[in-house]
Amino acid sequence: MMAKQATATDLLQSSPDRSHPAQRLRVAFFSDSVAERNGAGTYYHDLLPQLGEVTSGVRMFQPSDKFRVTRLTVPMPGDPTQRLLTPNVPRLWKAFRHFRPDVVVSITPGPFGLLGHALAKRHGCGQLVGFHTQFEELSRLYWNPVSRRVANGYLTAANRVICRSAHATLVNNRGLIPTVRRLGADQAAVVGTPLPVEFMRAPVVPLRAQLKQVLFAGRLAPEKNLGAVIDAARACPDVRFAIAGDGPLRRKLQRQAQDLPNVCFHGWLERHELQALMDESDLLLLPSRLETFGSIALEAMARGRPALVAAGAGIHEWHSLKDGLITLHEGEAIADKIKDLSTQSVQARRARSERARLAAERLNRDTIGEWADLILKAARSPR
C-alpha cells in the first residue's frame, strides 16, 4: 500500500510547473525525423506535450509520415524506410510566420533542421540545437568508404552551421560534449529524457513471481547487437523472448530464430501496444553496440520493469537511474544475466521495480524544468 502511495505522490509532483517564466514564450522545433520512428523522433513526441504546458505554445515542423512525391530524397544510414526529405519551404515559411516563435530548436542536420536555423536567423529568434544521434558513427556501420566520406563531410558542415549559431547545444550524455565542442558549440548542456505521459499515468502491473518473458524493442539494426538476443533465446528455452520493432535486419533475424519456439517477432507497434507488451514482460533487453542514451530503457523503468543495458549506453551516466538498470558488460552473456535474475526473490525484484518507476518519473520532471530554463535563456540571449 505504501509503495502505491509513493508512486502516486511522485507522479503528482512530476506535473509541469505552469508558473515558469517561459510561460510567455513560443517554441518551434525542426526535425528531419518522422514522429516515433526513431529515438530522436520519439524524444520530441514525448517532450512537446509536457513542454507545451510550461510555455505559450510549441510546434513541430517535420516530414509527414504519409507518402508524397518529392523532388529529392536521401536514405538515412542503414534504414531505407527512413529518408531525408526536401521540405516545402513556402508552406513552412508561412506557417512559421503565423506561429511567430521566440525560440527555434534544430534537432537534425538535414534540410528541415537547416531551414529552422535559417528562419531563426531571419526572424531574430533564439536558437537551440538538439544533438541526439552520432550519424558519423552510424555511417561507419552501413556505408562504404566513398559514401561515408561524402556523408560525413555534409554532416560535419551542417552541424557546424547550426551549432555555432545556437545559444546552447543540448546532448543527453556527457560523452557527446567533446563532439559538439569540435563542431563549434559555445555552450553544451546535458539534459534528461522525457517519458510519454501515458506511461506514467497508467497503473503499474506488478512483476510476476518468476521471470517468464523478456523484451527487446527498437530498430532491428546492426548497432543493436540483436545476435546476442537470439543467442540468449537459444540458451534459455524456458524464457519467452519478445522482439518488437522493424528494420533492415528483420528477415535475417527471423531466419536465425525460425527453430526457436520461444522467440516472437511483433513488428513495429503503436505506443499503447508497446506499453501492453512491456507490462507483459519481466525485463527489457538493450545490448546495443552504439546507444547515445537508450530511451526504451527509461520507458521500461517507468512501467516498473528493470532494464539490462549494455555498459556503453549513455543512460548509465544518469546515476539517479542506477537502481533500475542492470549493466551488461563487454563479454558477458545475456543468458547468464537472465539466469542470475531468475534466482532473486520476487520481493527483491519488485522492490527494484518500484525504485525504477520513481527514478524514471523524477528524471522526466527534471527534464521538463531543464528545457524550460534553456528556452528562457535562449530567448534572452543576444541575437
29-60, pLDDT tens digit by residue? 999 887 655 667 889 999 999 999 999 999 99
Are both 206 and 336 inside the same structural domain?
yes
Is residue 3 in a domain?
Answer: no
**Beta-sheet pairing, 79-85 with 73-76:** antiparallel
CA–CA dist 107, 41 (Å, integer) = 9
**Structure-block grid coordinates of residue 304:** 516498473
Do 297 and 371 have their domain in common? no
Residue 376 lies in a domain: yes
One domain for residues 43 and 190: yes
Q: Distance (Å, rounded) from C-alpha 321 to C-alpha 319?
A: 5
Cell of 38: 526513431
pLDDT at 212 over 70: yes
Same domain (yes/no): 48, 172: yes
| 296 and 209 part of one domain | yes
Which residue segment(s) compose the domain that 48 sits in?
11-196+363-380
Same-domain check for residues 156 and 270? no
Q: How many CB atoms neighbour CB 51 within 10 A?
A: 23
Calculate what percentage of the chain has a pLDDT beyond 70. Answer: 85
Read off the pLDDT of each residue in 151-163 and give the average, rounded to a whole number.
85
2 inside domain: no
Residue 284 lies in a domain: yes
Q: pLDDT tens for residues 279-312? A: 999 999 999 998 989 999 999 999 999 999 999 9
Asked, for residue 128, whether it belongs to a domain, the answer is yes
On whether residue 203 sits in a domain, the answer given is yes
Same domain, 158 and 65: yes
- 119 within 8 A of 90, measured Cβ to Cβ: no
Whether 98 is in a domain gets the answer yes
Same-domain status, 192 and 204: no
What pLDDT was estimated at residue 87?
A: 86
Whether residue 4 lies inside any domain: the answer is no
* Number of compact structural domains in the chain: 2
Predicted confidence band at 3 (pLDDT cuts at 50, 70, 90)? very low
C-alpha distances in Å from residue 70, one per residue of 90, 114, 298:
15, 18, 36
Do 301 and 176 belong together in one domain? no
Q: SS3 letters for 146-207?
A: HHHHHHHHHHHHHHHHHHHHCCEEEECCHHHHHHHHHCCCCCEEECCCCCCHHHHHCCCCCC
Contacts of 44 (CB under 8 A, 6+ apart): 29, 31, 35, 60, 107, 130
Q: Are residues 212 and 242 in the same domain?
A: yes
Q: What is the dihedral of CA 54, 319, 329, 76, to 10 degrees?
A: 20
Q: What are phi and psi of 71, to 5 degrees?
A: -80, -25
Taking CB atoms within 8 Å and a gap of at least 24, the contacts of 153-157 are 154/109, 155/109, 156/183
Of the candidates 317, 321, 253, the residue with the CA atom closest to the CA atom of residue 284? 321
Q: Are residues 185 and 256 in the same domain?
A: no
CA-CA-CA-CA torsion sign (366, 194, 281, 237) = negative
CA 307 – CA 341 distance, rounded (Å): 11
Q: What is the CATH number of the domain that holds 157?
A: 3.40.50.2000
User: Are residue 188 and residue 146 in the same domain, yes or no?
Assistant: yes
44 DSSP assignment: H
How much is the pLDDT for 149? 76
- pTM recorded for the entire structure: 0.83
Cβ 309 vs Cβ 328: under 8 Å: yes
